[in-house]
Amino acid sequence: MSTDALASAPPKIAAPTPAVRAKSESALMRFVVSTVVIVVLLLVWEAACLMGFVKVQILPPPHAVFLKFIESIKPQEAFDSSKMNYLQWLVSGELIHDAISSMGRVLVGFLIGGGLGLVLGLAMGASNLVYDLLNPLVQILRPIPPIAYIPLSILWFGLGNPPAYFLIALGAFFPVLINTIAGVRNVDSIYIRAAQNLGASQMTMFLRVIIPAAMPYILTGVKVGIGVAFIVVIVAEMIAVNNGLGYRITEAREFFWSDKIIVGMFTIGMLGLLLDILISKLNNHLLRWHRGMEH
């Protein structure tokens, strides 16, 4: 074959290896099984409501919940270009506005609490002196649920976003702190000795060895902290805030709108699932080296 023919030939795409194909098939199978389980549960729920086994005032059927969901995400007013642009109008539905408010509080509170927990956890994990000084206080405060701070948070910060940020930060602080301490203090001594033999400085060892080795623990703390933050934000919005998913669920409870309650609960679950997927993607990206060493 001539050189020109070789140059014009399209590049060959490598076929996926058996391991890659098996992994893809396994992921597809898990997705199919999970979807089937959800569909079956919805069908059983719908049938139980239609056959009268459950009062629809207490537990409305899935189709009623779906209709309420569609109603909640629709804009409440007709589009008026003099008041807002089309994108603002499109996301002006009550449920979207509440979801954005709740998610914003979760992210702000988590960044405050998780950031402080990460910094303090690294310090306590790396320094025996800092650990000995602060660990007794941490162990005293850690078992206290964030909800117990609600009266103090309202007394200190009043109503609105500040007490919600405080409670969410408190809820996210301890999972990140405890997991970061455990990660730093459980770094394999082989890594430490290898870095010392290569002449690494203390700062280089901390940044290039200890933190990467502790990353699986840290990301676990982040995942747990996000979950706690979602619990706390709903409780905070039920008490101290006049918007958000928690506030809307409380409002629906007072008027016995059970379909609206379930819509709020479903939205919380979907937001939690979205954050879980994003954290898992981040986990897979940051821990590529860790999986490579396992294989």
Residue ranges per structural domain of the chain: 12-73, 86-294
Beta carbons within 10 angstroms of residue 173's beta carbon = 29
Count of H helices and E strands in the chain? 14, 0
Provide the mean pLDDT of the chain. Answer: 83
Could you tell me if 160 and 240 are in contact, meaning their C-beta atoms sit under 8 angstroms apart? Answer: yes
Q: Please check the confidence at residue 209 and state whether its pLDDT lies above 90.
A: no
Cα 75 to Cα 97: distance, rounded to the nearest angstrom: 10
Distances (CA, A) of 174 to 125, 142, 287: 14, 6, 23
Lowest model confidence (mean pLDDT) among 77-86, 245-254, 275-284: 77-86
Could you tell me if 155 and 211 are in contact, meaning their C-beta atoms sit under 8 angstroms apart? Answer: no
Name the packing angle between helices 62-73 and 94-126 (round to 10°).
Answer: 90
Read off the pLDDT of each residue in 134-153 and give the average, rounded to a whole number: 90
- CA distance from start to end of the chain: 41
Read off the pLDDT of each residue in 257-271 and give the average, rounded to a whole number: 90
Confidence of residue 8 (pLDDT cuts 50, 70, 90): low
Could you tell me if 262 and 65 are in contact, meaning their C-beta atoms sit under 8 angstroms apart? Answer: yes
For the CA atoms of the chain, what is the radius of gyration?
25
Q: Encoding tokens for residue 149?
A: 């701070």
pTM of the model: 0.78
Confidence of residue 5 (pLDDT cuts 50, 70, 90): low
In this predicted model, what pLDDT tens digit does every residue of 151-165 receive, in sequence order? Answer: 898 889 888 889 999
Phi, psi torsion values for 79, nearest 5 degrees: -65, 130
In this structure, whether the domain defined by 86-294 belongs to CATH 1.10.3720.10 is answered with yes
3-class SS string, 91-118: CCCHHHHHHHHHHHHHHHHHHHHHHHHH
Residue type, 147: I
Question: Quick check: helix, strand or coil at residue 284?
Answer: helix
Q: Please check the confidence at residue 262 and state whether its pLDDT lies above 60.
A: yes
In this predicted model, what pLDDT tens digit does every residue of 73-84 receive, in sequence order? Answer: 888 777 777 777
pLDDT reported for residue 187: 79
pLDDT reported for residue 295: 47
DSSP state of 149: G
